[in-house]
Amino acid sequence: MIREATVLDIPRINELGSLLNDNFSSVNHLNDMLEDSLSKVYVYENDDQVIGFISATDLKETCDILSLVVDPEFRNQLVASNLIDYLISELDENLKIITLEVASKNIPAIHLYEKFGFEIVNVRKKYYADGDDAYLMARESE
């Protein structure tokens, strides 16, 4: 089941987020995001346990996916795909483009986004602390 995140989910989202970024909880202010009408945070729940989440900034005509993480034990079971589908279904009918940034080494994520029609539109050289490039990916609405 996918639903909107609540304050009760914050510790678990931060735990999952730390798999993506050691500083996840200090750079993603979930308390603020949950109160901010421009932010969307959805969790995927399985047997009362949150096993994945997606967060995005929704500016109606544009949307930026900020984070998407699935518990390693539940990967390759379409949890991330369902979260992306759900986010897209909740976006405005005037949506023109969805964007995101992903590390160029993150092959699973790049494949996932390509499956959803995202294309690499720009490269930010040595964007990450480890020297990896960032790909800016975008998906335009038909």
Ligand X SMILES: CC(C)(COP(=O)(O)OP(=O)(O)OC[C@H]1O[C@@H](n2cnc3c(N)ncnc32)[C@H](O)[C@@H]1OP(=O)(O)O)[C@@H](O)C(=O)NCCC(=O)NCCS
Where are any strands of DSSP class E within the chain? Answer: 2-4, 39-46, 49-58, 62-70, 97-103, 119-124, 134-140
CB of 101 to ligand X, least distance (A): 8
CB of 75 to ligand X, least distance (A): 3
Report the DSSP pairing between strands 134-140 and 39-46.
Answer: unpaired
CA distance 120 to 102: 10
CB of 81 to ligand X, least distance (A): 3
CA distance 55 to 47: 21
- Which residues, numbered 83-102, are part of the site for ligand X (CB under 6 A)? 102
Cβ-based nearer residue to ligand X, 34 or 109? 109
Sign of the C-alpha dihedral, residues 119, 100, 21, 45?
A: negative
CB of 100 to ligand X, least distance (A): 7
131 CA to centre of own chain: 22
Q: Which of 7, 27, 78, 123 binds ligand X (CB under 6 A)?
A: 78
- Which residues, numbered 43-62, are part of the site for ligand X (CB under 6 A)? none
- Which residues, numbered 111-130, are part of the site for ligand X (CB under 6 A)? 111-112, 115
Name 81's Cβ contacts closer than 8 Å, sequence gap at least 6: 112, 115, 116
Candidates 2-10, 28-36, 79-87, 134-142 — which segment interacts with ligand X by CB under 6 A?
79-87
Decide if residue 134 touches ligand X (CB under 6 A).
no
Residues at the contact surface with ligand X, assessed by CB under 6 A: 19-20, 67-70, 75-81, 102, 106-109, 111-112, 115
